[in-house]
Amino acid sequence: MEAASWRQRLGNHELEYYTDRTENSRVDQGKLIIEARREDYTGKDGVARQYTSARLTTRGAFAQAYGRFTARIKVPRGQGVWPAFWLLGDDIEKVPWPGCGEIDIMENIGKEPASVHGSMHGPGYSGELCFTSAYKLPGGPKFSDDFHVFTIEWDPNVIRFYTDEYLYATFVPAQLPAGKKWVFDHPFFIILNLAIGGDWPGAPDSTTEFPQQMLVDYVRVYKETVQTEQPR
């Protein structure tokens, strides 16, 4: 089971079918393109959907605990689109979600074109109880107007969220609900995907144009040579 399927299994009600076709993901002129299309499609598993898209993951190829994770992305626009750049604990097969941990470095939903969200999910603090914060572009532009850089700096016992190098959220174990466990202490892998529909963004409507594209200029990961324990 691929990582984002956990979300669908847990009831997000997304509308897309993720494929490995070049129509849905490819590299062109140095940019990764993740493209969502409105089309009738039936997968090999017999599931039929009216939208296709792609989800790329480093699962089985790369995972890391701590460091700086950053990507330069231009998100699509339109009601019902849901691009995301996120991390998932690589022990998910042994420790089911949300016990494995999830770090959403960037999520954007079409009905909030000037805002992105950074969130963390763990056992007993997922969904409405997760750590979450939002960053809104000043002055009225939309995130789909240009590329923006989305980053976390992850150290033991602290994770900081940035948009275009602006620090807008910091989460530490002391903010956990009483009795809950901080699970961000082991390797996580990377996921980039463009979902369509779901409980949070809602379905596309008559104003939503297709195809929609999420453009990724780069994804970079840095690891500190010396780890220092942060205050709890």
The phi, psi pair for 170, rounded to 5°, reads -135, 130
Grouping H, G, I as helix, E, B as strand and the rest as coil, residue 173 is helix
Long-range CB contacts (< 8 A, 24+ apart) of 221-226?
221/62, 221/64, 221/67, 221/68, 221/69, 221/70, 221/190, 222/67, 222/68, 222/70, 223/64, 223/66, 223/67, 224/66, 224/67, 224/155
Active site residues: 102, 107
Strand order in the sheet with 188-196: 55-57, 188-196, 81-89, 102-107, 115-121, 131-136
Judged on CB neighbours under 10 Å (0-12, 13-18, 19+), 157 is middle
Q: Which two tokens stand for residue 32?
A: 């990764």
Q: Indicate the residue type of 19.
A: T
Q: Which helix (H) or strand (E) holds 67?
A: strand 67-74
Half-sphere exposure of 174 (CA within 13 A, CB side): 5
